[in-house]
Amino acid sequence: MLKKLIEKARIKSPWLLHYDCSSCNGCDIEVLACLTPVYDIERFGIINVGNPLHADILLVTGTVNYRNRQVLLNLFDQMPAPKVVVAIGACALSGGIFREAYNVIGGVDRVIPVNVYVPGCPAKPEAIIDGVVLGLQTLAQKHKERKADAA
Amino acid sequence: MIDTAVFILIALTGGPLLGGFVSGLDRILTARFQSRIGPPLWQPFYDVVKLWGKENTVVNVWQAFCAYCYVAATSIALILFVLRSDLLLILFIQAVGAVFLVVGALSSTSPFSQVGAHRELLQILSYEPLLILVTIGIFLETGSFKIAGIYSWNEPLIMRLPFLFVVLGYALTVKLRKSPFDLSTSHHAHQELVKGLLTDYSGPILALTEIGHWYEVVLILGLCSLFWATNWIGMIVIVGVTYFFEVLIDNVSARLNWRWMLGYVWALGLSLSLVNLIWLYVD
């Protein structure tokens, strides 16, 4: 009963942490657009928190390079389980047009495990919301897998 | 004896329930002020239940200990309020809870947490004298520190203590960490110092601090209700109007730094209380 409640609450109250690796800010503006009255994602209990210790979902935009790799890893490690990573925009997915640059490692999945990929340059707010919803399903799935592992 | 047990049970369960709904209402009102729809009313409960189910990462033992003490102190304060006990005792226990929250934040080495804790200490410093002055005003009028005595007073206190009610409103804004006095940590999506005081509280421990905060909210709204305790409608109206104004001020004002906070709250709060106390004394 309590477990079911927690599972439901998880889907109803995802707190986002948004990290801009080295994006052009296009995707970041679209992420923040989701919080504005037009899209108002707080309707679904989604809050943008600035603290990895409070976050459930990590939104990453931009390419990962050798400088911010450690920061991204740190943020991911500091988030308490269960957690989900959503990569947003072409750069976060694969490195985008910066893929061949000498300082770029590539997409986010080269450093941390990514659960949902949201394409676009920049990604549309609707697509980002879709991505977060998909991420929530992954969260529920993860919970079930953990229970199956324990059994 | 049975009565006491029932009252304790009501305070223990009703406190967080009411506090959660009040903060849900707060979020909806805030969203409406910003022309958004806002989350459902029971969103705060989802948040707390979710936090309860998260991985438990505590910085050190003291932090967890302090979080538990905070909840214990705030719930005891509310229980004493429901039992209509001594107002001074309630305020002191509430202050102990607030200090425990600060000590918990100080026990981690994170600079955000440290700065947040120091700012919270300044907030406590600014509202505590005001709360005591309000209590003194109530005592001068009714001749009792006991809530039972205050509730049985046959005239609404706000008629005789209007300035002290404004002072209580000030203290309430600081205590609830509403703008312009949300410098130690802030609610919702507008962040200060990452999360300031609450930076290093996470998962179930954060859920505990949230529950403690709900107890505090109910306690302070209870304090407001003392000012129109002659009938139920008056109590509900005065609490509702006060909280509405809190949320309104939260939304229309920017954050002040601590010098402004201390200056404003003390200069205005202390002088307003002094005026009201002199009025009571002369009258």
Residue spans of beta strands (DSSP E) within chain A: 15-20, 47-49, 57-61, 64-65, 84-88, 104-106, 116-118
Verify whether the Cβ–Cβ distance B53 to A6 is below 8 Å: yes
By the 8 A CB rule, do B149 and B142 touch?
Answer: yes
Side-chain-facing half-sphere of B101: CA atoms under 13 Å: 32
- Please tell me which of the candidates A13, A35, A42 has its beta carbon nearest to residue B50: A13
ipTM value: 0.84
* Cβ pairs A/B, distance under 8 A: 85
Q: What is the value of pTM for the model shown?
A: 0.88
Verify whether the Cβ–Cβ distance A82 to B35 is below 8 Å: no
Q: What pLDDT is recorded for position A97? A: 87
Produce one character per residue of A101-112: b if its CB has 16 or more CB atoms within 10 Å, e if not. eeebbbbbbebb
Verify whether the Cβ–Cβ distance A5 to B49 is below 8 Å: yes
Q: What is the pLDDT along chain A (151 residues), one digit of tens a residue?
A: 777 787 778 888 888 888 888 888 888 888 888 888 888 888 888 888 888 888 888 999 988 988 888 999 999 988 887 888 999 988 888 888 888 888 888 888 888 888 899 988 888 889 988 888 888 888 777 767 766 666 5
Q: What pLDDT is recorded for position B1? A: 73
Share of chain A above pLDDT 70, in %: 95
User: Which residues are within 8 A (CB) of A25 and not within 5 positions of it... i.e. 6 or more apart?
Assistant: none
State the Cα–Cα distance between residues A79 and A126, nearest whole angstrom: 25
Q: What pLDDT is recorded for position B173? A: 87
Highest mean pLDDT of the ranges A20-34, B60-74, B145-159, B245-259: B60-74
Q: What is the number of structural domains in chain B? A: 1
Cis before A82? omega within 30? yes
Res B189 pLDDT > 60: no
Res B83 pLDDT > 70: yes
Structural domain of residue B265, as residue ranges? Answer: 2-282
Residue B181 C-alpha, separation from nearest chain A C-alpha, in angstroms: 19
